[in-house]
């Protein structure tokens, strides 16, 4: 099939009146951010029709990739954008592939191929099954952006997803924010009351906190709901907004008769998804250990990524050494009502007893 490359590669920096069925909600939201006068990376998108056709027939993939490659400064970022992700009900957090630091045409072609096929992954299938969603309705576009060199990057929620307070939560790290969303580090955290954010000072160089928060609230107002925003700060203290989506869930505190009076506290961490759970301790050192997960287990690991998703149906609770409350796995834990505690101390998991209990309200872990 002959593809009209010129008409199917769209510029998100100057895009109006497009539909989520054409470019996906992630791309549509990025274009809306640019429309607010906020800074985004230079971004192109392959619409869902061209992705569908290239997935069936790769004969024109080289020409399409070259066209994109020649329009953008390197390095590049490639990521999926689907019509049913980034909604109030379905985040699909981390379900589609993303690639950073793409410097060659060959690497871009490889990244695009993997992005195309992410729609068929086990984790996407499970996410759809868990949410009673027909995966056949998914249409996938691909965003390719210039990669911005940042001094700091991270995630900002315009509402606290754990306490449900009207509080801005910011988690960030030096350089790229990949470790924040993937939960592989312990990020820096700033909590700001919405009512007095103008009075908050930030001692971190290059982060213009006032500009960051004002832009985030502008995005929240545009989309008319609390937002999950990925951002970066350049060496010149400019704030760049990489994407925004609705916060799909916030914790709901409920009455529970969970009795901790006779339980011994063995560790404490940061509550990330509320609730109580008791179960067998299952320590995960790598993905090969996923096969050891049994129904009703409390999974314990240094960090967890979204590849664990197909096993979430068996898991009663999550504990990690690294990560924050705004990571992809934290978002999914809240969507699935799975208690989750991160940044646990002490974190010598090998001495945990065979059965433990966790309190996702206060971050306490007990011998059971």
Rounded CA gap, 252 and 274, in Å? 8
- CATH code: domain of residue 18: 3.30.1490.20
Whether 132 and 158 map to the same domain: the answer is: no
Whether 332 and 270 map to the same domain: the answer is: yes
DSSP H helices, 163-226, are: 178-182, 209-223
Residue 259 inside a domain? The answer is: no
Whether 54 and 181 map to the same domain: the answer is: no
Whether 141 and 183 map to the same domain: the answer is: no
Whether 214 and 237 map to the same domain: the answer is: yes
For residue 277, the surrounding DSSP H or E stretch is strand 276-284
Whether 187 and 141 map to the same domain: the answer is: no
- CATH code: domain of residue 314: 3.50.30.10
Whether 291 and 350 map to the same domain: the answer is: yes
Residue 256 inside a domain? The answer is: no
Residue 255 inside a domain? The answer is: no
- Strand arrangement, sheet containing 9-11: 9-11, 43-46, 140-146, 76-82, 98-102
Whether 103 and 138 map to the same domain: the answer is: yes
Residue 140 inside a domain? The answer is: yes
CB atoms within 10 A of CB 118: 18
Domain count, the chain: 3
Q: How many CA atoms lie within 13 A of 237 on its CB side?
A: 10
Of 146, 181, 207, the one marking the end of a domain is: 146
Whether 96 and 167 map to the same domain: the answer is: no
Sign of CA dihedral 168, 174, 175, 178: negative
pLDDT for 51: 92
DSSP-based helix, strand, coil % in the chain, nearest 5:
35, 30, 35
Whether 81 and 182 map to the same domain: the answer is: no
pLDDT for 253: 55
Q: Is 80 helix (H, G, I), strand (E, B) or coil?
A: strand
Question: Domain range for residue 332?
Answer: 265-367
Rounded CA gap, 145 and 78, in Å? 6
- Strand arrangement, sheet containing 152-157: 188-193, 167-174, 152-157, 227-233, 239-246
Contact in structure between 181 and 230 (CB atoms under 8 Å):
yes
Whether 142 and 156 map to the same domain: the answer is: no
Q: What does each of the 368 residues of the chain score in pLDDT, given as a tens digit?
A: 455 554 478 888 877 667 778 898 899 999 999 999 999 999 999 999 999 999 889 999 999 999 999 999 999 999 999 876 654 555 555 556 789 999 999 999 999 999 888 887 777 777 778 777 777 788 899 999 999 999 999 999 999 999 989 999 999 999 999 999 999 999 999 999 988 877 777 778 888 999 999 999 999 999 999 999 999 999 999 999 999 999 977 655 555 567 777 789 999 999 999 999 999 999 999 999 999 999 999 999 999 988 898 899 999 999 999 999 999 999 889 988 999 999 998 878 988 999 999 999 999 999 97
Of 146, 169, 192, the one marking the end of a domain is: 146
Residue 257 inside a domain? The answer is: no
Residue 258 inside a domain? The answer is: no
Of 121, 146, 171, the one marking the end of a domain is: 146
Residue 211 inside a domain? The answer is: yes
Q: Which residues contact 301 (CB under 8 A, 6 or more apart)?
A: 283, 284, 285, 319, 320, 321, 349
pLDDT for 348: 83
Over the Cα atoms of the chain, what is R_g? 21
CB atoms within 10 A of CB 154: 28
Whether 191 and 283 map to the same domain: the answer is: no
Longest dimension (CA), the chain: 70
């Amino acid at each position: 099939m002959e593809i009209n490359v010129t008409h199917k590669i769209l510029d998100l920096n100057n895009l109006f009146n497009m539909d989520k069925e054409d470019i996906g909600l992630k791309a549509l939201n990025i274009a809306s951010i640019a429309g607010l006068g906020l800074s985004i990376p230079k971004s192109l998108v392959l619409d869902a029709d061209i992705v569908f056709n290239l997935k069936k027939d790769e004969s024109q993939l080289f020409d399409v990739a070259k066209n994109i490659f020649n329009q953008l400064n390197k390095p590049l970022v490639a990521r999926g954008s689907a019509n049913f992700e980034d909604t109030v009900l379905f985040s699909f957090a981390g379900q589609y592939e993303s690639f950073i630091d793409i410097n060659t045409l060959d690497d871009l072609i490889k990244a695009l191929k993997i992005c195309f096929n992410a729609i068929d992954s086990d984790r996407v299938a499970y996410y759809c099954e868990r949410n009673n969603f027909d995966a056949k309705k998914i249409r996938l576009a691909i965003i390719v952006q210039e990669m911005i060199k940042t001094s700091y990057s991270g995630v900002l929620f315009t509402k606290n997803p754990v306490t449900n307070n009207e509080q801005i939560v910011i988690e960030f790290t030096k350089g790229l924010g990949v470790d924040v969303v993937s939960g592989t580090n312990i990020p820096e955290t700033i909590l700001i009351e919405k009512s007095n954010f103008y009075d908050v000072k930030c001692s971190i160089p290059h982060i213009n906190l006032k500009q960051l928060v004002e832009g985030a609230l502008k995005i929240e107002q545009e989309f008319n709901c609390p937002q999950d925003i990925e951002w970066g700060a350049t060496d010149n203290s400019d704030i760049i907004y990489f994407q925004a989506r609705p916060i799909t869930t916030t914790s709901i505190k409920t009455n529970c008769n969970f009795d901790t009076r006779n339980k011994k506290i063995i560790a404490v961490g940061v509550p990330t998804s509320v609730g109580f759970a008791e179960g067998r301790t299952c320590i995960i050192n790598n993905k090969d250990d996923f096969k050891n997960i049994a129904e009703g287990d409390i999974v314990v690991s240094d960090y967890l990524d979204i590849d664990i998703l197909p096993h979430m149906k068996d898991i009663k609770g999550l504990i990690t050494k690294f990560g924050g409350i705004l990571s992809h796995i934290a978002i999914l834990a809240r969507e699935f009502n799975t208690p989750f505690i991160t940044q646990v101390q002490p974190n010598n998991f090998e001495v945990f007893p065979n059965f433990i209990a966790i309190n996702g309200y206060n971050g306490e872990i007990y011998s059971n």
